[in-house]
């Protein structure tokens, strides 16, 4: 019975949604699919159109409703790079897809293929796992004064738990030994601090995996210098975006890296490079990046043996010196080939193993399933103050302090004014540069209970004084512990 079920499973093709993309996209997609089918991938392809044509037809998101249906139904999306037209109004399809489908994990293996592809880091073999949905990429930006614009950095507990648990499960599945967490929690103690503490908390459930934390600045310097000391790196969205391109580049070429965007309900696989329009239609582009994305996809859909066969044939092709123009090097390479010929060379080597590069073995494949997120019991949350942000064109903080301190109520008193986070009142430094964006912090006096009415009273006084209130941020304690940052210099 079990055998019968397995056989039936093997016979049922996995339906995947495929977008050929723009520029070099159609050529590298054709080459990739040729290799997949020649290797016996058990897939059925459903094509959709996304990208430039869709954008230029007036759809600013670059994807039609029927294409969303295909992706949501098939849950697996192999996407060639697309061109986002220049000019206003066009939304990045990648960002939209990641967010709409909740693709919270971006996985990017960065491997050196030295000496066949030149790299200063012959032993590099690291995987970057980047949080993909939140952080500064929540895209919440506001201009608040003539001089100041803000971008909100949102970091959530479920967001941290999902990506960190994913990283540990990935390490377990792919037999990786160490995970390094990169944050900047010496400065962003609340947001990055949460990411770090969730890393420590979840890491404790994986005793067999070595764990370490680096501050992102020195960590990325170390990664660029000696990447071989890292195995898996997990980090927040913006840091991950930056370091994953650096890692791919120093591994040898951005043209050789693929990535997976994984969510609970769907996954998208792609090359990391763009549509290289100048190379389009010339049978020149290297299909390797997209092929690497497709290999991640085969593992995800539970076809690791096909993934392994292709990866080993691809390694053998690189090793045999059959190279597209971007990695071709006189003296190193044997033959400069086009996109089609490269794909053909990989197909001819299916079943062969590389001799010098380490062959891969994907013992286990299948989508990583995470324990569902469980919301923790609510903590005791108490309102203890408010930050009132003002657009004030004056230059002297003491003058503002004199006006705003009159707004204090019985339970809330002005305790600090800061400008771009630096305390400028009371007792600020004349040397501190001030913009027109001021934060006036009112905090609880004499253990009095603070209510929203106190905040409204402050705002009413600000309006009476014709001050331009941009926004307020409430100050809370959770279980008695202050959950807001102090002003720098406070
Ligand atoms: P790009 O990655 O397309 O190209 C940069 C250069 O890298 C090219 O000129 C080419 O010399 C080389 N290159 C890239 N891929 C190659 C390959 N497979 N084989 C050989 N050489 C390759 O970056 P760009 O020029 O900055 O962007 C072009 C377009 O791609 C833009 O419209 C951009 O928005 C888009 N883009 C799309 C994606 C995506 O869909 N995931 C990602 C990045 C950029």
426 SS3 class: coil
Is 285's C-beta closer than 6 angstroms to any atom of ligand 1? Answer: yes
Phi, psi for 203 (deg, rounded to 5): -55, -35
Please give the number of the atom of ligand 1 that sits closest to the Cα of 276. Answer: 3
DSSP assignments along 286-307, one per residue: --HHHHHHHHHHHHHTT-HHHH
The CA distance from 271 to 292, in Å, is: 7
pLDDT at position 10: 56
**pLDDT tens for each residue of the chain, 490 residues long:** 444 445 555 568 999 999 999 999 999 999 999 999 999 999 999 999 999 999 988 888 899 999 999 999 999 999 999 998 887 678 888 888 888 899 999 999 999 999 998 888 999 999 999 999 999 988 889 999 999 999 999 999 999 999 999 999 999 988 999 999 999 999 999 999 999 999 999 999 999 999 999 999 999 999 999 999 999 999 999 999 999 999 999 998 888 999 999 999 999 999 999 999 999 999 999 999 999 999 999 999 999 999 999 999 999 999 999 999 999 988 889 999 999 999 999 999 999 999 999 999 987 767 888 888 899 999 999 999 999 999 999 999 999 999 999 999 989 999 999 999 999 999 999 999 999 999 999 999 876 789 999 999 999 999 999 999 999 999 999 999 999 998 877 7
Domain with CATH 3.30.70.1570 in the chain: 381-482
Which CATH code for domain 381-482?
A: 3.30.70.1570
Please give the number of the atom of ligand 1 that sits closest to the Cα of 80. Answer: 40
Is 279's C-beta closer than 6 angstroms to any atom of ligand 1? Answer: yes
Is 292's C-beta closer than 6 angstroms to any atom of ligand 1? Answer: no
Which CATH code for domain 11-100+260-366?
A: 3.40.718.10
In this structure, which residue's CA is closest to atom 5 in ligand 1? Answer: 276
Domain with CATH 3.40.718.10 in the chain: 11-100+260-366, 120-251
- Pair of tokens at residue 353: 């193993």
DSSP assignments along 27-58, one per residue: HHHHHHHHHHHHTT--EEEEEE-BSHHHHHTT
Is 32's C-beta closer than 6 angstroms to any atom of ligand 1? Answer: no
pTM metric for this prediction = 0.91
Distance 381 CA to ligand 1 centre (A): 48
Distance 127 CA to ligand 1 centre (A): 21
Within 10 Å of residue 288's Cβ, how many Cβ atoms?
A: 30
C-alpha pair distances (Å), 343 with each of 217, 335, 366:
39, 14, 26
Please give the number of the atom of ligand 1 that sits closest to the Cα of 285. Answer: 19
In this structure, which residue's CA is closest to atom 16 in ligand 1? Answer: 255
Distance 21 CA to ligand 1 centre (A): 12
Is 278's C-beta closer than 6 angstroms to any atom of ligand 1? Answer: yes
In this structure, which residue's CA is closest to atom 10 in ligand 1? Answer: 276
Which CATH code for domain 120-251?
A: 3.40.718.10
CB burial of 95-134 (b: ≥16 within 10 Å; e: otherwise) equals eebbbebebbbbbbbbbbbbebbebebeebbbbbbbbbbb
């Amino acid at each position: 019975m079990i055998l019968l079920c397995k056989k039936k499973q093997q016979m049922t093709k996995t339906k995947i949604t495929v977008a050929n993309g723009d520029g070099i996209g159609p050529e590298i997609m054709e080459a990739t699919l040729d290799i997949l089918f020649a290797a016996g991938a058990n897939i059925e392809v459903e094509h959709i159109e996304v990208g430039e044509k869709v954008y230029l037809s007036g759809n600013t998101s670059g994807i039609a409703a029927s294409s969303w249906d295909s992706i949501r139904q098939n849950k697996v999306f192999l996407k060639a790079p697309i061109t986002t037209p220049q000019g206003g109004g066009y939304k990045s399809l990648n960002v939209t897809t990641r967010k709409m489908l909740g693709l919270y994990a971006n996985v990017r293996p960065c491997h050196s293929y030295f000496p066949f592809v030149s790299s200063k880091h012959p032993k590099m073999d690291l995987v970057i796992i980047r949080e993909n949905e939140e952080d500064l990429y929540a895209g919440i930006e506001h201009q608040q004064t003539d001089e100041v614009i803000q971008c909100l950095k949102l970091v959530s507990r479920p967001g941290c738990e999902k990506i960190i648990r994913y990283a540990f499960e990935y390490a377990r599945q792919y037999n990786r030994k160490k995970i390094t967490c990169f944050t900047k929690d010496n400065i962003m103690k609340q947001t990055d601090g949460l990411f770090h503490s969730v890393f420590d908390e979840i890491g404790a459930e994986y005793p067999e995996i070595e764990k370490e934390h680096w501050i992102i600045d020195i960590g990325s310097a170390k990664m660029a210098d000696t990447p071989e000391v890292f195995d898996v790196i997990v980090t927040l969205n913006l840091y991950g975006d930056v370091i994953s391109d650096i890692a791919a580049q120093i591994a040898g070429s951005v043209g050789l890296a693929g990535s997976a965007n994984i969510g609970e309900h769907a996954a998208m696989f792609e090359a990391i490079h763009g549509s290289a329009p100048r190379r389009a239609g010339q049978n020149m582009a290297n299909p390797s990046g997209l092929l690497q994305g497709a290999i991640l996809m085969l593992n995800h859909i539970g076809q690791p043996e096909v993934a392994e066969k292709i990866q080993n044939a691809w390694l053998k092709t690189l090793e045999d010196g059959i190279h597209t123009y971007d990695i071709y090097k006189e003296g190193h390479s044997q033959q400069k080939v086009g996109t089609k010929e490269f794909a053909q060379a990989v197909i001819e080597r299916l079943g062969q193993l590389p001799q010098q590069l380490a062959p891969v073995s994907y013992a286990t494949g299948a989508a990583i399933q995470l324990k569902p997120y469980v919301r923790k019991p609510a903590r005791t949350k108490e309102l203890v103050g408010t930050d009132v942000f003002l657009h004030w064109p004056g230059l002297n903080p003491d003058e503002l302090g004199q006006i705003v301190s009159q707004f204090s109520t019985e339970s809330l008193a002005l305790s600090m004014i800061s400008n771009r986070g630096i305390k400028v009142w009371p007792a600020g430094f004349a040397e501190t540069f001030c913009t027109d964006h001021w934060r006036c912090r009112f905090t609880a006096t004499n253990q009095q209970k603070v209510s929203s009415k106190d905040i409204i009273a402050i705002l009413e006084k600000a309006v009476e004084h014709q001050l331009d209130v941009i926004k307020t941020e409430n100050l809370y304690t959770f279980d008695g512990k202050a959950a807001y940052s102090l002003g720098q210099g406070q």
